[in-house]
Structure 1
Amino acid sequence: MSGRASLMLLDTASLYFRAFFGVPDSVKAPDGTPVNAVRGLLDMIARLVTDHRPARLVAAWDDDWRPAFRVAAIPTYKAHRVAGQDGERWVEEVPAALTAQIPVIVEVLAAVGVARVGAPGFEADDVIGTLVTRELARPAAERAAVDVVTGDRDLFQLVDDEARVRVLYPSKGVKDLLVVDQSMLAERYGVSSGAAYADLAVLRGDPSDGLPGVPGIGEKTAAQLVARFGDLPGVLAARDRSDPALAPAARRRLTDAADYLAVAPAVVRVARDAPVEQVPDELPRVVADADRVVELAQRWGLTSSVRRLVDALAAV
């Protein structure tokens, strides 16, 4: 690989949710507090560092899991996951045993020295999209290959072989990552690029995020439309000019969904210019605060996981 060594971006909430549900809740601190998500996340990071040896590492954070600009465009966006409201902020429905572990994750990452960054009013997806965009703006000789680690298909839209951006998707855990590049998108989804995947996602929708999509147009049809007309604007232009290559049923469905299609792209596509603070992102080969690391490891019963992570960092 020429130029700078690789940059790894972690979709942190996606990973600690997976850790919480993948590691038994019998994993507890000495005081009985569950720490399964903390331990699982630390073990994930250790494995990722060992297997992929990035030179730079950032844990992207959800400062706002349900941003106002997305809700204003599509009010159903993540509405089924709302537990309540705290002032102007939506409160996500999260198991109490996981909520209690998130501050521990923050403390351990800080003590180890892993960069963690969010952006007010934006999701971790937007942080990652912005950091990828900044990397691609570097001079070619300084530009790193980027690995985005996420369990969320939304970030497949960032895949770009020429720019050396791929997604590592833990479909069966980090021991067996699915490498998502353009050939995988073509094989599995019938689209040629990350940008085309975003167009497909707009048309298909995503019930897990409260995005209705275009009724009657599923994933396969969406991929065929994007391939035939080039991109989503091309599909909509074909609709508007009554292109004979667009089947009447598809034209009717796209017309009926015109209001949704006018706003959905800005909801589905990640932000590329979120106000993400510049943070030192070099992989911490030596922990930032050794005494604090020892204290946290002992307090929360994380000695083995912390040791694996520290050893992995030192070995890169």
Structure 2
Amino acid sequence: MLLDGASLWFRSFFALPEKMTSPDGRPVNAVRGFIDTIASLVTREQPTRLVVCLDLDWRPAFRTDLIPSYKAHRVAQEAPHTGDSADTGGIADGEVDVEEVPDTLTPQVDMIMAVLRCAGIATSGAVGCEADDVIGTLAYDEATDPVVVVSGDRDLLQVVSDDPVPVRVLYVGRGLAKAEMMGPVEVAEKYAVPTERAGMAYAEMSMLRGDPSDGLPGVPGIGEKTAAKLISEFGSLDALEAAAADSGSSVPARSRKSLIASTEYLTAARTVVLVRTDADTIDSTDDDRLPAEPADPGGLADLVDELGIGASVARLAKALGWPAVAEAS
């Protein structure tokens, strides 16, 4: 099981009230919601291995260099570049992009990471990459166990596959209670793309239609239905572009004109939209198996007391089959 960390803790933050606080008054709604989410997922899907995948760079230069508008609307501020370690975006040289995150969520991410570390739950990131790229790489490299990706981001539907192992996406965009398990068949049926290459076809469709939430313009005049129809008719984006360049093909005149005019965008979009499968992942632990016991019981107990998250940790312990944990919430 591969969890899209930021997607899930953002959703936890907005799903639960900030009046959920620690004994010293700090909001812990995202912490409690995220831990409860893991407990629910483990109980529901019974994975044997689990990794929380991280955004070490939410707006990578290899994407913004090609399409500067990529996630540009999510930039909270532009601060002077103060060191080589700062993450740079694509707005201008010498600036660093800061993602717009609620002030009361930022400290909770550190709390979540501390809980994961003490619990012994594996995390993974990749320098200069988004969590999507980590998920894409880990899913692509898996040759033994079926994979379930959990995210509220539809972009990850492109990783669904049947070979060499089943890769499914548990899409939680409408909440965990209404989660949809999506494989090639489900993606093909929902988005009217070819089943035999549903994941890639979905990605190509999204390049054509664009995605305002990610700052991707798309091809003018081609919406989701037209994009799906064109990909289905011609088989792939490569074949569609080749057909558009052939005046004798059956590509509609309006779409042909837009596709030819968007050649440069579509070339860039292939890199920007497709998740990487070759990211240099950095694992916080050498073992992604679900922990049989906490990695740091004392540290976890201290966090329970400090943050008042005993009920959530107790639910996680039950899901993982640990001995009972005191509910000091």
Q: TM-score interval w.r.t. the shorter chain?
A: over 0.9
Partner of 1:118: 125
Give the C-alpha shift of residue 243 in structure 1.
Answer: 4.1
The secondary structure found in structure 2 opposite 1:277 is strand
Partner of 1:168: 170
The secondary structure found in structure 1 opposite 2:168 is strand
Contact 2:53 2:134 (C-alpha < 8 Å) held by counterparts? yes
**CA deviation profile, 1:58-96 (whole Å, cap 9, x unmatched):** 000000000001000000000001112453422101000
Q: Aligned-residue CA RMSD in angstroms?
A: 1.2
Instruction: Give the direction of change, closer, same or farther, for the CA distance of 1:227–1:243 in structure 2 (3 Å limit).
Output: farther
For the residues of structure 2 that align with 1:243 and 1:58, how far apart are their CA atoms? 50
For the residues of structure 2 that align with 1:234 and 1:243, how far apart are their CA atoms? 14
For the residues of structure 2 that align with 1:243 and 1:277, how far apart are their CA atoms? 50
84-93 or 195-204: bigger deviation: 84-93
The secondary structure found in structure 1 opposite 2:291 is coil
For the residues of structure 2 that align with 1:166 and 1:94, how far apart are their CA atoms? 29
Partner of 2:158: 157
Give the C-alpha shift of residue 298 in structure 1.
Answer: 1.1
For the residues of structure 1 that align with 2:231 and 2:201, how far apart are their CA atoms? 7
For the residues of structure 1 that align with 2:106 and 2:157, how far apart are their CA atoms? 27
Contact 1:47 1:175 (C-alpha < 8 Å) held by counterparts? no
The secondary structure found in structure 1 opposite 2:65 is helix
TM-score, normalised on structure 2? Answer: 0.89
Of structures 1 and 2, the one with the larger relative CO (CA 8 A, separation 6+) is 1
Q: How does 1:44-193 map to 2 (within 5 A)?
A: 44-85=37-78, 87=81, 88-89=86-87, 90-135=97-142, 138=143, 143-162=144-163, 163-191=165-193, 192=195, 193=198
Partner of 2:94: none
Q: How does 1:236-255 map to 2 (within 5 A)?
A: 236-255=241-260
The secondary structure found in structure 2 opposite 1:101 is helix
Partner of 2:22: 29
Instruction: Give the direction of change, closer, same or farther, for the CA distance of 1:239–1:131 in structure 2 (3 Å limit).
Output: same
For the residues of structure 2 that align with 1:85 and 1:118, how far apart are their CA atoms? 24
For the residues of structure 1 that align with 2:248 and 2:268, how far apart are their CA atoms? 23
Instruction: Give the direction of change, closer, same or farther, for the CA distance of 1:199–1:243 in structure 2 (3 Å limit).
Output: farther
For the residues of structure 2 that align with 1:176 and 1:249, how far apart are their CA atoms? 39
Aligned partner (choices 316, 319, 322) of residue 309 of structure 1: 316
Give the C-alpha shift of residue 294 in structure 1.
Answer: 0.8
TM-score, normalised on structure 1? Answer: 0.93
Q: Please list every run of 5 or more consecutive structure 1 residues that lacks an aligned counterpart in the other structure.
A: 1-7
The secondary structure found in structure 1 opposite 2:126 is coil
Give the C-alpha shift of residue 242 in structure 1.
Answer: 2.4
The secondary structure found in structure 2 opposite 1:215 is coil
Give the C-alpha shift of residue 310 in structure 1.
Answer: 1.2
Q: Does 1:195 pair with 2:200?
A: yes
Partner of 1:292: 299
Instruction: Give the direction of change, closer, same or farther, for the CA distance of 1:243–1:197 in structure 2 (3 Å limit).
Output: farther
Instruction: Give the direction of change, closer, same or farther, for the CA distance of 1:104–1:251 in structure 2 (3 Å limit).
Output: same
Contact 1:204 1:222 (C-alpha < 8 Å) held by counterparts? yes
Aligned partner (choices 200, 207, 211) of residue 206 of structure 1: 211
Partner of 1:226: 231
274-283 or 43-52: bigger deviation: 274-283
For the residues of structure 1 that align with 2:5 and 2:172, how far apart are their CA atoms? 13
Partner of 1:5: none
Give the C-alpha shift of residue 277 in structure 1.
Answer: 2.7
| Aligned residue identity for 1:68 | A
**CA deviation profile, 1:192-229 (whole Å, cap 9, x unmatched):** 21111011111111100000111110000000111011
